[in-house]
A = this chain, B = another copy of it.
Amino acid sequence: MKTRDKILLSSLDLFNERGERNVTTNHIAAHLAISPGNLYYHFRNKSDIIYEIFLEYEKLVDFYLDIPENRPITLDDLTFYLESVFDGLWSYRFFHRDLEYLLDSDQRLRQDYREFTNRCLTAISRIFEKLAEAGIIEPQPEELRSAMSLNVWLVITNWMAFLKTAHASEASASLTLTELKQGIYQVLTLEIPYLTADYREQVMTLREKYRPRFPDSADALVSGQGEPIGNH
């Protein structure tokens, strides 16, 4: 593998693991056992590394959120979208953590991210539209659909931060992809009232699969279990 690609990969790993703020270019070089000079031969600065990583992230999500227009949407499609988006979020999880600082430091990134967000919101809205066409949810006026899409976006992009700040009692407590995907439960919660009678059961069953199981008693009120959860 080319040094350049190794730098991108290691950077992503370290950023995800420790947070962009805690990872210096020297750290990245040291982790790869290359010299700082070498790193700066391939990238002009830290922002450029981050920007390239963002482009990968963007490409991945754009690929996942490509809505097929030649056929109706299915529940499997919905599951795929949700799973994929959370997979992407997981792989590039450092990004949303320091988002505001990153955008302040790089105008290109700000512009691109802005457009990226708008594309995602459009895609989410389009998914709602197609879910209605497929008879899975009741159709809604565009204005409501847009506001709902934005709420879905807010829940998706910030579920991880919630887990890391409110759930884990220690900084070191590592998050798992499984926990992250409990965000799907939250997203499906948003859709419950709009489900059609025909599909309500199916979606509720799907949702149940992602139901959070917090082992920590302090969080019991978060999941609001009516009945006790089994030990595991």
Query: Given A118-B219, A151-B186, A158-B154, are A226 and B194 also a contact pair (CB < 8 Å)?
Result: no
User: Counting CB contacts under 8 A, is A176 at the interface?
Assistant: no
CB under 8 Å from chain B, chain A span 182-232: 185-186, 189-190, 192-194, 218-219, 221-226
Within 8 A of B (CB), among A55-101: 97-101
Q: How many residues of A contact B (CB 8 A)?
A: 59
Min CB–CB distance A174 → chain B (angstroms)? 13
CB-CB contacts of A96-113 with B at 8 A, as 1s and 0s? 011111011001001101
Q: Are A144 and B192 within 8 A (Cβ)?
A: yes
In the complex the two chains form, is B103's CB within 8 Å of A171's CB?
yes
Complex partner residue of A158 from B101, B157, B190, CB under 8 angstroms: B157
Q: Which of A146, A149, A164 has the most CB of B within 10 A?
A: A146
A143-B226 in contact (CB<8A): yes
- Chain A, range 111-134, C-beta contacts under 8 Å to B: 111, 113-114, 117-118, 121-122, 125
The binding surface of chain A is classed by DSSP as helix
Judge if A165 is at the interface, Cβ distance under 8 Å. Answer: yes
On whether A171 and B110 interact (CB within 8 A), knowing A186-B154, A189-B148, the answer reads yes
Tell me if A9 counts as interface (CB < 8 A to partner B).
Answer: no
Q: Tell me the bound Cα distance from A210 to B143 in angstroms.
A: 14
Give Cα A106–Cα B101 distance, bound, in whole angstroms: 20
Is A53 close to B, CB under 8 A? Answer: no
Tell whether A135 is near chain B: CB-to-CB under 8 Å. Answer: no
Q: Which residues of A contact B (CB under 8 A)?
A: 19, 21, 97-101, 103-104, 107, 110-111, 113-114, 117-118, 121-122, 125, 141-151, 153-155, 157-159, 161-162, 164-166, 169-171, 185-186, 189-190, 192-194, 218-219, 221-226
Q: Sample 19 A-B pairs with CB under 8 A, ordered by A number.
A: A98-B101, A99-B165, A100-B161, A107-B171, A110-B171, A114-B169, A118-B218, A122-B221, A125-B224, A142-B226, A145-B224, A147-B189, A150-B162, A150-B186, A153-B162, A154-B158, A154-B162, A158-B158, A190-B190
